[in-house]
Amino acid sequence: METAATADLHHAPTGFVGSSADYPPITTFQDAKAVCLLESVKLWTIAGPIAFNILCNYGINSTTNIFVGHIGDVELSAVAISLSVLASFSFGFMLGMGSALETLCGQAFGAGQVEMLGVYMQRSWIILTSACFFIMPLYIYATPLLRLLGQRDDIADLAGKFSIQVIPQMFSLAINFPTQKFLQAQSRVVALAWIGFVALFVHIGMLYLFIHVLGWGTGGAAMAYNLSAWAIAVAQVVYIVGWCKEGWKGLSWSAFNDLWPFVKLSVASAIMICLEIWYFMSIIILTGHLEDPVIAVGSLSICMNVNGWEGMLFIGINAAVSVRVSNELGSKHPRAAKYSVAVTVVESLMIGLSCMVVIMATKSKFSIIFTDSKVMQKAVADLAYLLGITMVLNSVQPVISGVAVGGGWQALVAYINLFCYYVVGLPLGFFLGYKTSLGVQGIWIGMICGTMLQTIILIIITLKTNWNDEVCK
């Protein structure tokens, strides 16, 4: 029996069905429904598996926090700082550099140059592995750096020890992200979802074995973290070599050609992403200077962890809309690129509002997953309304950032992020947190204001974009 959605497709104008030509202009409500349906199917066919994979990867971080949180509050704060500050720094920097591959592979695939994808991926492996060696001193000297930033000695010592133990995980990202972007550009994402799903379950098993059975504490958590990360990276490479013959033609010396232009785009992408990651990372650092830092950092870390679950979903949507925009621009379909952005923003906003409702309804309960401490649970409940607002903002902002990556606007967005986050948001958060009685809530309110300003500016830029010019570029 024909569904309403199928009927919409069947009765839509011919130009709206198929991918060989650009969409015609929308002139009726029926046209709008048809475009919304087609773009939703295209978006979620890509975004669903990507988001599931990223959620599983983030689940590795989150379950590590959960298992460690039941060891003790100091252990929770120390590992949370290590994962929220140092691991988030490397994650953001490497993800940002890998996003250059998202632009190049997406547009190359849209233009039919599939053979270039494997070369681009190998070039990205070289650049990202080199970047790991520049990041590594931050892990090695984490303890003195955290003390310099004002963290309590016992928290800084344990966080520094854990950071050194998870250095292997950082190097896995140099393989993981380029392989992800290679597969995403071709919409070959189901394998990513399965790999992430299996890795998460194996990781939970290793955490239980290493922490509860063998009693290895935070050292066991670090070992499970490293093994899971490298299992994901290796599995993705095996899949590409074995099942992606069109894009993968074997190792090539061409990967060493034109490295500098690739580095410049990678660095611009990394700065764009990192300015966002560092911004939210700085909340944890500033909170460490408040009175009773164990409760303040712990409660904020739990909220950031929950926010991260939603954030990982929207990183998946970010990647999907980036693939859609870059593919359509590479195929010379400006109107399809424009419509894909509009549909994605509306659907993402609806998801963000739904997440806010869930958080407000369970504000006194959801922290039980992370801690047994009643004091910590009360502190988390007091921050729930800010978490809900942040979730709504985070539903739109990553989508617009994904549009920027798909269009190759990374450098422009980096400047916008620098102004909104570090000229407006961070000073305002510092003032409200330290010069008023708001404390950690004041720091977070300032951060929200910076994010809101950045989102508004990016929306205005997107609305004023001439998509025909983007195709020419």
Token pair of 203 as six digits: 């990781």
Q: Please answer whether residues 400 and 406 qualify as being in contact, where contact means their C-beta atoms are separated by less than 8 angstroms.
A: no
- Helices within 362-466 (DSSP H only): 374-382, 384-407, 410-417, 426-434, 440-463
Please choose, from the candidates 102, 107, 100, the residue with its C-alpha nearest in 3D space to the C-alpha of residue 127. 100
Is the pLDDT at 190 greater than 60? The verdict is yes
Query: E strand or H helix at 224, and its extent?
Result: helix 217-243
Question: At residue 12, does pLDDT exceed 70?
Answer: no
CB distance 111 to 330 below 8 Å = yes
DSSP 22: P
Share of the chain above pLDDT 90, in %: 26
d(CA 27, CA 12): 12
188, 49 Cβ separation under 8 angstroms = no
φ, ψ of residue 226 to 5 degrees: the values are -65, -45
CB atoms within 10 A of CB 82: 29
The burial class, CB within 10 Å (0-12 / 13-18 / 19+), for 316 is: buried
Residue bearing the bigger pLDDT, 112 or 306: 306
Give the model confidence (pLDDT) of 339-379 as tens digits.
888 899 899 999 999 999 999 998 888 888 887 888 888 88
Give pTM, 2 decimals.
0.74
- The percentage of the chain sitting over the pLDDT mark of 70, rounded to a whole number, equals 93
Instruction: Name the amino acid, one letter, at 409.
Output: W
* Residue 126: exposure state from Cβ atoms within 10 A (0-12, 13-18, ≥19): middle
> Comparing 220 with 5, which gets the higher pLDDT?
220
The answer to whether 424 and 450 have CB atoms below 8 angstroms apart is yes
DSSP string, 77-121: HHHHHIIIIIIHHHHHHHHHHHHHHHHHHHHHHHTT-TTHHHHHH
pLDDT band at 10 (very low <50, low <70, confident <90, very high): very low
Chain-centroid distance, C-alpha 274: 11
Q: What is the pLDDT of residues 102-125, one digit of tens each?
A: 777 777 777 777 778 888 899 889
pLDDT digits (tens, 9 = 90+) for 218-273: 999 999 999 999 999 999 999 999 988 888 988 888 888 878 887 887 887 787 77
